[in-house]
Amino acid sequence: MNTVEIKKDGFYIDGNKFMFVGGEFHYFRTLKGGWRRRLELMKDFGITVVTTYVPWNMHEPSPGKYCFEEHLDLEYFLSLVNELGMKVYIRPSPYMCGEFEFGGLPSWLLRDRTMCLRSSDASFMNAVERYYEVLLPKLVPYLHKNGGPIILAAVENEYGSFGNDKAYMNALADLMRKHGIDVPFSTCGGIDPFKYQNGYLEDSWYAVDFHAVPNAIDENLMKLKEVQPDKPLMSGEAWVGDIMFWGKGYSTERHVKENAEFTKKALELGCIINYYMFCGGTNFGFTSGALSRNGEGYVPLGTSYDYGAPVSEEGTPRKKYFLMRDALDEYLGKPKREHICPEHKIQAIGEIKLCEAAPLFDNSSAIATSAATYGRTICMEDLGQNFGFIRYTTYINYTDDRVRHLHIDEVADRATVYIDGKYIGCVCRNQKAPDIVFTIPKEGCELSVLVENMGRVGYGYAMYDRKGVLGCMHFDIENPDGTFLYNYAQVMGFSTETLPLADISALKYGEPDNNIVKNGEPCFWRGSFKAEAGVDTFIDMAGWKKGCVFINGFNVGKYWNIGSARTLYIPGELISADNVIEVFEIHSPNDTRSVSSIDHSLLCEKPLDPTEADFLLL
């Protein structure tokens, strides 16, 4: 029959009612070699539908250039799910949220200052159409009618929390149909009337998102039943864990019993569940996003997307996995099963010395993807840069001995400031700027500002989130008597280097110079280690301040000593018998200039006390 239908009493495939138990697993947050093991855990649990977003920014990193290789091999992922006998709920919409960088949108969209994101604006839709012409034909062979696993497709995600352009929503649906996507369509979001009315699409299935705890069921599912009485209840994202923010507390064990109780109660109500997340993952490289919250402002997210999910970041089942599985088995009338974790080896290699150094300022010209001089500061997006760092350097001529107080307007997101290569201060988004002072020597001095993109906002109206110095730099000039010169002059003429760190192979390493640490200069540190090839490990960054780690040239993600995560997960797929580790440290290494390879994660460390932090500023 090759039919997929949504009826009032449930989901039907080929005329038969289908037990839809969904679990979110993002292929792009796990390396390709780790997919099967996690999917097998999902199948053993009882998951019948694997749900995944499709990140536009990863698949089209620059306009017209596409990537579907390695851990972005979507077609292989779909074929693997099919091989294991599960179905797919695909979420290919331009926007995904997922706490991902820019919500999954490509940052090059921000080069167009007139574009209205996620709207029927022609400039936005033209970009979407070009992307869909490549993406959607890849999905067609995997539709149910063609013997594939895809049975449901999302048109957009949580749109009621962003806008009200129904023409845009309909245009997306029309594009999907045009390219042959003929399974039922869905949208999801909050159940508040404002979010629901702006976020639903006629003839599609609306699902509501909420925490997977029993006391949230009545408030959300009963309201959904009122507004959508002709379709089955669906928890589009049943949140079974939490996201990790830098500098905030985190727990992998939150709501363990409540998640199991939710499973039982929701199933008894006939609700179709999609657990979010079912398998944790990793925001490799610089892909972790950020939120903008009332009262908190800009809040960046961590590297780990473990989420406290039933299946951890490293792909092992947790207590909640087994308790939730028990609830599902009981509902299905299956006999109780033992709680046995499949064997998964993780190695502890021990201390790894990083004995070589490559100072950034000595190497920036070799690894910069562009370098030019501009009269003012230019943002990353206008220079074609997606991720990483951007460096602005200028020369300040001597005029007098008075103290300068530096101001950098509109920093996005974190700027470290140097005079003649020596660190003098840090300016961070949404925080009161410190007093950065210096005097100019008779021969003049070099002012250099290194700005880090800590993740673009991926939710709500604050998504127009360009990176770099968005305003200007200027000085207050203090007179000897403590008064200040009336001065509105700006600093001009910046040599600007884009440093996405996508390729650091041109770095020139040598013996460490103690002045690097003394001056607080950003530096790459390199070491080597032997290991059992193909076996996972964790890198403990205790004592290091802030930066990112490369294993055999692959950027595994960021670390930051403010917590709560202290380790970075290193998938075995990255590990060979002989390995190179490179650490880019913005401030200073630990006393031993070493890291440790351990066999467990440290994700729930107590965040650093602000009074103990040298570089706490966000």
Domain presence at residue 361: no
Say what the pLDDT of residue 618 is: 41
CATH of the domain at 262: 3.20.20.80
Q: How far apart are CA 46 and CA 49, in angstroms?
A: 9
Pair 20, 9: CB distance under 8 Å:
no
Q: How far apart are CA 413 and CA 416, in angstroms?
A: 10
Cis preceding-peptide flag for 174 (omega within 30 of 0): no
Say what the pLDDT of residue 611 is: 58
Q: How far apart are CA 306 and CA 315, in angstroms?
A: 9
The torsion region of residue 453 among left (phi > 0), alpha (psi -120 to 50) and beta comes to: beta
Q: Which SS3 state, helix, strand or coil, does residue 602 take?
A: coil
Q: How far apart are CA 134 and CA 125, in angstroms?
A: 14
Among 153-167, 288-302, 579-593, the minimum mean pLDDT is found in 288-302
Domain presence at residue 228: yes
Residue 614 pLDDT exceeds 80? no
**Do residues 126 and 256 share a domain?**
yes
Say what the pLDDT of residue 608 is: 75
What domain count does the chain have? 3
**Do residues 312 and 213 share a domain?**
yes
Please identify which residue in the block is written with the tokens 């006998």.
Answer: 85
Domain presence at residue 252: yes
Domain presence at residue 295: yes
**Do residues 549 and 578 share a domain?**
yes
Say what the pLDDT of residue 430 is: 84
Residue 560 pairs with which residues in a beta bridge?
546
CATH of the domain at 524: 2.60.120.260
Name the packing angle between helices 319-332 and 35-45 (round to 10°): 40
Averaged pLDDT, 211-222: 93
**Do residues 301 and 211 share a domain?**
yes
Q: 605: Cβ–Cβ under 8 A, 6 or more apart, which residues? A: 563, 564, 565, 566
Averaged pLDDT, 251-258: 92
Say what the pLDDT of residue 432 is: 85
Confidence of residue 612 (pLDDT cuts 50, 70, 90): low
Domain presence at residue 448: yes
What is the pairing mode between strands 185-189 and 150-154? parallel
Active site residue 158: yes
Residue 296 pLDDT exceeds 90? no
Say what the pLDDT of residue 433 is: 84
Domain presence at residue 14: no
What is the pairing mode between strands 422-428 and 389-396? unpaired
- The Cα-based distances of 571 to 533, 560, 574 in angstroms read 11, 20, 6
Say what the pLDDT of residue 615 is: 47
**Do residues 46 and 99 share a domain?**
yes
Q: How many CA atoms lie within 13 A of 307 on its CB side?
A: 32
Query: Residues 24, 60, 101, 158: which is the catalytic one?
Result: 158
Domain presence at residue 233: yes
Mean pLDDT of the chain: 96
Say what the pLDDT of residue 431 is: 85
Averaged pLDDT, 33-61: 98
Active site residue 60: no
Q: How far apart are CA 148 and CA 613, in angstroms?
A: 53
Residue 225 pLDDT exceeds 80? yes
Say what the pLDDT of residue 1 is: 72
**Do residues 92 and 215 share a domain?**
yes
- Take residue 427 and report the two structure tokens written for it: 């300016």
Residue 46: exposed, middle, or buried by beta-carbon count in 10 A (0-12, 13-18, 19+)? middle
Q: How far apart are CA 78 and CA 66, in angstroms?
A: 18
**Do residues 60 and 158 share a domain?**
yes
SS3 content of the chain, % helix, strand, coil (to 5): 25, 30, 45
Averaged pLDDT, 123-137: 98
**Do residues 318 and 375 share a domain?**
no
Q: How far apart are CA 465 and CA 456, in angstroms?
A: 6
**Do residues 446 and 521 share a domain?**
no
**Do residues 246 and 128 share a domain?**
yes
**Do residues 40 and 168 share a domain?**
yes
Query: Residues 99, 101, 156, 237: which is the catalytic one?
Result: 237
Domain presence at residue 4: no
Confidence of residue 617 (pLDDT cuts 50, 70, 90): very low
Averaged pLDDT, 50-58: 98
**Do residues 203 and 291 share a domain?**
yes
Percent of the chain, pLDDT > 70?
A: 99
Q: Where are the beta strands (DSSP E) in 103-248?
A: 150-154, 185-189, 205-211, 234-239
Q: How far apart are CA 171 and CA 132, in angstroms?
A: 12
Residue numbers of the domain that contains 92: 20-332
> pLDDT tens across 303-334, in order?
999 999 999 999 999 999 999 999 999 999 99
